[in-house]
Amino acid sequence: MAEPHTVPRADDRADDTPALTPDLVRQVLEAGDAEAVRARLAPLHAADAADLLERIAPDERSAVLEALRGVLDPDILAELDETVRGEVVEQMAPQELAQAVARLDDDDAVEVVADLDEETRRDILARLPQADRLAVEQALTFEEDTVGRLMQRATVVVPAYWTVGETIDYLRADASLPDTFFDIFIVDPRHRPVGSLPLSRILRNRRPVGLAEIMDGEPVMLPVAMDQEEAAFLFRQQDLTSAPVVDESGRLAGVLTIDDVVDVIDEEHEDDILKLGGVYEDDLYHAAAATTAKRFPWLLVNLGTAVVASLVIAQFEATIEAIVALAVLMPIVASMGGNAGTQTLTVAVRALATRELSATNAMRIVVKEVLVGGFSGMLFAAIAAAVTLAWFGNWLLGAVIAAAMVVNLLVAGLSGVAIPLALDRMRIDPAIASSVVLTTVTDVVGFFAFLGLAAAVLL
């Protein structure tokens, strides 16, 4: 957004930047005055300073922020967890916040402003320089999690008829160029990208060489409406460091860089992990009541699936009363199926996210996981049978648990890959619903197989 920074940024500091340690956190909290707090925080990278603010209690955070009033590194705001950032922003004066936003990179400024409530957002936007305000307002017109929200609007563009020498002179002379960039984009008279050049190639060619001779034609172009996860996939697949972003007419609108894509990949993986656990967002810094409210619906769904499994057990009440050992052993079968299925499920959900699992190889993967379930089932069937025989001295009971173990692990292997595939086909995020469906299947099949076989063989 802004011209090259006139104040030191966290990422411009020396390589000997101190790491955030418990001792350093303690020293900051025990600092006697604002000057001492600033001195201890000054060498920290913005990400480490943000981590420090997240780790300390709200009242301690307020005291640290008060000490940093007027000198807070704006990059810290971009690094903070959304919940903590909201608390920090509330403590900042509107003009102070507007000045911080104006010093942030485009994508970071948009992220900070987007999380503000409507009234505060209007106030902050009104205080921004006109160019910065228009850039943020335009970015907010794009859907969240799209390339348009994520891109940097400041780009380095040159015409194809320039030479290497002309380009180098331009890069040295124009003070309005971005602080950091990896590629130069070649555009036609309509401002449409027709090629790209990494800086290394500019430096390795002689001044008279024309850009058209050494540029990479047909660069990978990202539409502004493209989902950020799709863009991250392209970066990973084609080893990109940056890519031009184009609007509906094909004109260059900005650039997406690898540092932002790394954040996207991290966010998407974190999102999948949280969803697999039935948590829709990172609630580490939310209040206890708010966290309980967010987690309650999914736990309620799990309660319903547990009732289904209990209903299966109720059908064999007489069998359990006749052979009490069944009540002791049946959780083993269900839990082994659940754990084996979760292993397969985790691999399958990740493979779907990275597009390694698709309709092309789905059947081969399903067969493989069924075989793995069968092999594991036979191995653990032998172990479970031996333990049961030694424990209860009943070889028939050992045979029953062995057979149930094989059946449930076979079903676990099949379900662990089939369930996320089916949900993906139905346009449902596999990370959200797969785990609860899998748990229900393995519990029901495990109880039914074990108790059903017991009723048929032992009574």
Instruction: Please write the tens of the pLDDT for every residue from 225-255.
Output: 999 999 999 999 999 999 999 999 999 999 9
List the CATH number of the domain containing 166. 3.10.580.10
Same domain, 420 and 319: yes
Domain count within the chain: 3
Give, for 256, the enclosing helix (H) or strand (E): strand 252-257
Per residue in 197-214, pLDDT (tens digit) is 999 999 999 999 999 999
Per residue in 390-416, pLDDT (tens digit) is 999 999 999 999 999 999 999 999 999
Mean pLDDT within 256-280: 81
Same domain, 255 and 299: no
Same domain, 268 and 166: yes
Structure tokens at 384: 């479970």
The residues with which 243 forms a beta bridge, in sequence order, are 256
Q: Which of 229, 256, 276 is the last residue of a domain?
A: 276
Mean pLDDT within 172-178: 89
- Domain extent, residue 14, equals 10-141
3-state secondary structure of 18: coil
Long-range contacts of 192-196 (CB under 8 A, 24+ apart): 192/246, 192/250, 192/251, 192/252, 193/219, 193/221, 193/244, 193/246, 193/252, 194/160, 195/160, 195/219, 196/244
Give percent of the chain above pLDDT 90.
50
Q: Please check whether residue 434 is in contact with residue 421, taking contact to mean a CB–CB distance below 8 angstroms.
A: no
Nearest to 373 by CA among 337, 398, 325: 337
The residues with which 255 forms a beta bridge, in sequence order, are 152, 244
Using the predicted structure, report yes or no on whether residue 42 has a pLDDT greater than 90. no
Structure tokens at 236: 């990973």
Q: Does 146 map to a domain?
A: no
Q: Please check whether residue 222 is in contact with residue 231, taking contact to mean a CB–CB distance below 8 angstroms.
A: yes
Provide the angle, in degrees to the nearest 10, between the axes of the packed helices 130-140 and 118-127.
150
Q: Does 395 map to a domain?
A: yes
Report CA dihedral (9, 12, 18, 20) to the nearest 10 degrees: 50
66 phi and psi angles, rounded to 5 deg: -65, -40
pTM strictly above 0.85: no
CA 446 – CA 330 distance, rounded (Å): 8
Instruction: Give 49 or 4, the one with higher predicted confidence.
Output: 49
Q: Which of 243, 276, 309 is the last residue of a domain?
A: 276
CA 347 – CA 361 distance, rounded (Å): 14
190 phi and psi angles, rounded to 5 deg: -90, 10
The residues with which 256 forms a beta bridge, in sequence order, are 243
Same domain, 366 and 441: yes
What is the structure's pLDDT at 270?
Answer: 78
Q: pLDDT confidence of 282, banded at 50, 70, 90?
A: low
Q: Which of 115, 141, 167 is the last residue of a domain?
A: 141
Q: pLDDT confidence of 82, banded at 50, 70, 90?
A: confident
CA 386 – CA 384 distance, rounded (Å): 5
What is the structure's pLDDT at 346?
Answer: 86
Mean pLDDT within 72-85: 91
List the CATH number of the domain containing 74. 1.25.60.10
Average pLDDT, the chain: 88
Q: Does 235 map to a domain?
A: yes
Mean pLDDT within 166-179: 91
List the CATH number of the domain containing 330. 1.10.357.20
Mean pLDDT within 29-48: 87
Q: Does 151 map to a domain?
A: no
Same domain, 390 and 417: yes
Nearest to 34 by CA among 72, 70, 74, 64: 64
Q: Does 402 map to a domain?
A: yes
Same domain, 445 and 302: yes
What is the structure's pLDDT at 9?
Answer: 44
What is the structure's pLDDT at 202?
Answer: 93
Q: What is the DSSP letter of 163?
A: B
Same domain, 25 and 67: yes
Per residue in 296-351, pLDDT (tens digit) is 877 788 788 888 888 888 888 888 888 888 988 989 999 999 899 989 998 898 88
CB environment 137-170: b (16+ within 10 A), e (fewer):
ebbeebeeebbbbbbbbbbbebebebbbebbeee
CA 45 – CA 79 distance, rounded (Å): 10
Same domain, 358 and 454: yes
Q: Does 281 map to a domain?
A: no
Mean pLDDT within 149-159: 92
Q: For the chain, give percent helix, strand, coil, nearest 5.
A: 65, 5, 25
Same domain, 433 and 318: yes
CA 46 – CA 17 distance, rounded (Å): 11
CB environment 236-253: b (16+ within 10 A), e (fewer):
eeeebebbbbbeeeeebb
Q: Does 3 map to a domain?
A: no
Same domain, 168 and 123: no
What is the structure's pLDDT at 8?
Answer: 39
Using the predicted structure, report yes or no on whether residue 58 has a pLDDT greater than 80. yes
What is the structure's pLDDT at 11?
Answer: 45
CA 323 – CA 397 distance, rounded (Å): 10
Nearest to 453 by CA among 382, 404, 387: 404
What is the structure's pLDDT at 280?
Answer: 66
Same domain, 304 and 346: yes
Provide the angle, in degrees to the nearest 10, between the axes of the packed helices 362-392 and 325-353.
160
Mean pLDDT within 159-175: 94
Q: Does 148 map to a domain?
A: no
Angle at 422 between CA 421 and CA 424, to 5 degrees: 65
Same domain, 207 and 105: no
Mean pLDDT within 216-232: 92
